[in-house]
Structure 1
Amino acid sequence: MKIKHILGSLLFTFSIQAQTNSTKVPFENYNLRWINGQNRQQDFPLQLKDKNGETIVTGVVYLDGYFNYNFNRPKDNTQTISAVTGRANEFSIALASIGLETNYKNAIGRLWLQTGSMLHIIQETDGSVARGRNTGTGNLKFIREAAAGYHFDVNYGLNVEMGIFMSYIGLESYITQENWSYQRSMVCDFTPFYFQGARVQYFPTKNYRTELWLLNGWQSYNSWSKSPGIGSSNYYRPNENIQLVANFYLGRDSRNPDGSLSDVVRFHHDNSIVYRYYHPENKKHGITQAAFSLNNHYGIQNGSGVSGKSNFMTGSSLAHRIWWNDNHLALTTRADYVTNPGSYLAFTPAQSNSTMPNGYELAMANGEKLRMFQTSATLDWMPSDVVTFRLEYNYRQSNVPYFAGRGGTTSPTGFTTDPITADWKADLRKQEHRVILAMNFRL
């Protein structure tokens, strides 16, 4: 879940620097709104200011809706293997969110509330909340982000925060408006969308940001083990046309079948480059910008009963985007590939009590590597900074039956209230074609 991470926090940090009248501002005068995973807004109209003109609090409203047409036409209208489109062949709200952000007098505060179909795909699958009592996703899944902290005027900035954050792993964001494509790449969809913990952001120079994280776990509200996970994120921007990123994670994030704490250790690394190679100044007609992004991932698990040879994930996503008509229109093409033996990061293709088709069961029993390929083409119309209309074609293929077919993946009738008979199997296919029409609004 993948950016599924908060590149938008950079804009928040810039605001902190400016409003504390610091003479050292990281990434000063850089236009970063073109970057894959970054908010393109220039103005934030929902601001409350004090008598000196300093912003006290900024309000934000976000709405994301879509119609996802799956040519396999699953009878239960359930879209599988996607963290953004949970339904097929019907109109859906992926995410509706409102929030408040402040950095008044060096104090940092953020509260984002959320609802929508993405919560059922991402937050409600968090198994860590079953460990102990006084916990559960019921009260936490409606919080997209909640954090408190303080900004220190050290070098180009030092921020200390604690709370629930958007994930730093991966290139693409949890907020689809910030991404070049609507359906995220698989390397981002299979990795975290949120963390609960604490972080320190440090800007030693104008062009470099580094972060240290202490986390409850891998996309988990609670901890799976006696020790926290640790993470690191590093951004380098030598100029406004290039971004280099390297992220790391290390933690214990599983349990043994008897309920005891597992000694399985998970390591994950991703790196990315985003490069704008064409950007003539003051050009408003014809092609106005062109850029590409490359995001690579590698992860592994090792411990009792788990071998890194059969529990690893590797994959890449390459996207290219051109803008024209004064950046109001854009076309993105993307291809990505994932290998995930053991499927320890992949989505389950049907509900847990379903019987899988023979091709899937045999492949998994033999330890066959799950390999997936995805390609997409996305046309964006952006009449203003606050609204985006999208038309996207998406094709996916796997080496084993993995995508929902005509018979669906819920039950013989397609309803969760009806029993699953002994002779029924989830209908899974090796290929999937989709067309997505989406609209999002952000103020």
Structure 2
Amino acid sequence: MNPLLVASFVVPLLGSDTLGVQKPAVDSAEAKVPFGHADFTWMNGQSRQRSTPLQLGKYVTGSLYLDTYFSQSNNRPRDNTIVGSASIGRSGEFQINLASVGVSWNYQNVIGRIELQSGSMLNIVQDLDGSVGRGRNLTTAGLRNIRQATAGYHFDKGYGIDVEAGIFASYVGLESYLLGENWNYHRSLVCDFTPFYFQGVRASFYPTQKLKLEPWIMNGFQTYGRWNVAPSVGFSTYYRPTGSLGLIGNFYYGADQRGNPGRKRFHHDNSVLLRYLDRPTAHGISKMAFSLNSHYGFEQGGNGPSAGQAYMAGTSFVNSIWFNQDRLALAVRAELVANPSRYLAPAPTPGGFTDGGTDFMARGLTATFDVMPTDFFSVRAEVMTRASSVPFFAGPGGTTSVDGYLGTPGDFTPDVRRAQTLFTLALNFRL
């Protein structure tokens, strides 16, 4: 998800990964800049960089990103595997979660970006894409290391129209795929349950400086391929009337169940971001803001339960307080999600859920303390506790095998618990 830095950059509404491409400006000195009326680097899901050191000439911008962490589960799973989170996957180990390098460009209105990635988070997100099993000539291995790859054209109408095709970061949900852009290190449950990438086409319309309208056509809900015949469609609306307020509404509709083309999925999320105190030069409390991200979706038709059972509803509320000229921050989050048919809840074991039921509800509390000596580096300490109505988190016995290693023979029952507390220390670098 990059912020508006100078008038020579066109900026997406809510960060470089969730909402678009950071693009060097066209040649015109009078170019109109969307969302150029204020600084939005304070927002949840948004890069906080105020400058771009990797400006590689007039038309090309480079990017570097590194996310590394150490996390400990209070359940201390024998196989060091964390389940119930799409943000991190290992306990009691030092891990490179995500490393990325990329470039974006804008030359004579031809726009695009290529960003490559590696790290342990790919095993949680990209490797679980089952759509590549439909037919041949498509594999996760061939695409997993591409974080974004897009190409398109910019039209000088209004405040700009961008039409692009490729692999994009998802527009659904408030929080970024890049954990360093979020107020909390772990994403909220509602964002973990929704897509992180799409392959398809989008058009970004900026009718005014404060408004962005964005229709999408995609292969599916976090898929490289399609589950069925018809593509998926979506629409996003982003509005920033002032530098202290952001409003977002996202919609998705598609057929995303294998071999069940009559079953349709709908998903909607909306967000409010409000900065209610701003004293950037203060050495005490320098800024205060909150974000509220709420989701509702369902599946209906074809073979499966009705929308009364096959739904997802949840919300995440975060309040953040910055100190010492925005170099320290404390963010506290409360969250709740329900997904009774579990069509979005990630399976806690390779064999799925262990309780055999048709219910799921989870809640959590998270506190994150950030030390940010510059806009390009942060040290993050976090404690997060979550509980669910069914076994969902790895217990001491782990979820792999009798000794915790893949392939070890012997009778084994995965140890899955209803609660988990994670203590995490992370370092985030971005340039």
The TM-score, its normalising length taken from structure 1, stands at 0.91
Residue pairs, 1:30-429, within 5 angstroms: 30-49=38-57, 55-256=58-259, 261-280=260-279, 283-306=281-304, 307-352=306-351, 357=354, 360-361=355-356, 364=357, 367=358, 369-421=359-411, 424-429=412-417
AA in 2 matched with 1:324: F
The separation in 1 between residues aligned to 2:39 and 2:270, in whole angstroms, is 22
Aligned pair 1:21/2:25, yes or no?
A: no
Unaligned runs of 5+ in 2: 1-12
The separation in 2 between residues aligned to 1:12 and 1:58, in whole angstroms, is 14
Residues 270/19 of structure 1: CA separation in 2 closer, same or farther (3 Å cut): farther
Q: CA deviation at 1:10?
A: 9.0
The more displaced of 7-16 and 432-441 is 7-16
AA in 1 matched with 2:165: M
The percentage of aligned residue pairs carrying the same residue is 47
The separation in 1 between residues aligned to 2:395 and 2:285, in whole angstroms, is 40
Of residues 402, 418, 427 in structure 2, which corresponds to 1:430? Answer: 418
SS at match of 2:127: helix
8 Å contact from structure 1 (residues 225, 262) kept in 2: yes
Q: CA deviation at 1:153?
A: 0.6
Q: Deviations over 1:113-149 (max 9, x none)?
A: 0000111111011010000111100110000000001
Q: Deviations over 1:74-127 (max 9, x none)?
A: 000000011111101111111011001111221112000000011111101101
Counterpart of 1:52 in structure 2 is none
AA in 1 matched with 2:296: Y
AA in 1 matched with 2:36: E
8 Å contact from structure 2 (residues 25, 59) kept in 1: no
The TM-score, its normalising length taken from structure 2, stands at 0.94
8 Å contact from structure 2 (residues 23, 104) kept in 1: no
8 Å contact from structure 1 (residues 17, 157) kept in 2: no
Q: CA deviation at 1:20?
A: 4.1
The more displaced of 100-109 and 332-341 is 100-109
8 Å contact from structure 2 (residues 111, 154) kept in 1: yes
Counterpart of 2:427 in structure 1 is 439
8 Å contact from structure 1 (residues 16, 106) kept in 2: no
Residues 218/36 of structure 1: CA separation in 2 closer, same or farther (3 Å cut): same
The separation in 2 between residues aligned to 1:10 and 1:29, in whole angstroms, is 21
State the aligned residue count: 418
8 Å contact from structure 1 (residues 246, 271) kept in 2: yes
Residues 284/6 of structure 1: CA separation in 2 closer, same or farther (3 Å cut): closer
Pairwise CA RMSD: 1.7
8 Å contact from structure 1 (residues 37, 180) kept in 2: yes
Give the structure with the higher percent helix: 1
Q: Deviations over 1:41-84 (max 9, x none)?
A: 112112221xxxxx221111111000011010000000001111
The separation in 2 between residues aligned to 1:159 and 1:122, in whole angstroms, is 28
Residues 338/15 of structure 1: CA separation in 2 closer, same or farther (3 Å cut): same
